[in-house]
């Protein structure tokens, strides 16, 4: 009877260890998912910064062309 009680206790202890290991694996998996989502957000930020750079370049070109146009107007008025 006592050995049967110890056997049940050891079985319960093994089940607790298995459940604990499973919950640990789930927490590691959720951490990996959050790291992956963080990498995706950094990637999207890099893409938005890249899309912002050509627009800033086009703004610089338009400002340069306006300066050239203004200088041509001054030359033509002389």
**Tokens 């062309």 correspond to what residue?**
65
Q: Which domain holds residue 15?
A: 1-77
Residues 6, 21: Cα–Cα separation, whole Å: 22
Q: What pTM was estimated for this model as a whole? A: 0.46
pLDDT digits (tens, 9 = 90+) for 32-55: 999 999 998 888 888 887 777 777
Domain total in the chain: 1
Q: Mean pLDDT across the chain, nearest whole number?
A: 82
């Amino acid at each position: 009877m006592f050995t049967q009680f110890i056997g049940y206790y050891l079985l319960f202890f093994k089940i607790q260890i298995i459940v604990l290991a499973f919950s640990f694996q789930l927490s590691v998996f959720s951490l990996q998912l959050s790291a992956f989502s963080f990498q995706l957000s950094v990637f999207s930020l890099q893409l938005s910064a890249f899309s912002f750079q050509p627009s800033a370049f086009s703004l610089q070109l338009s400002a340069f062309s306006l300066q050239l146009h203004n200088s041509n107007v001054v030359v033509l008025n002389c």
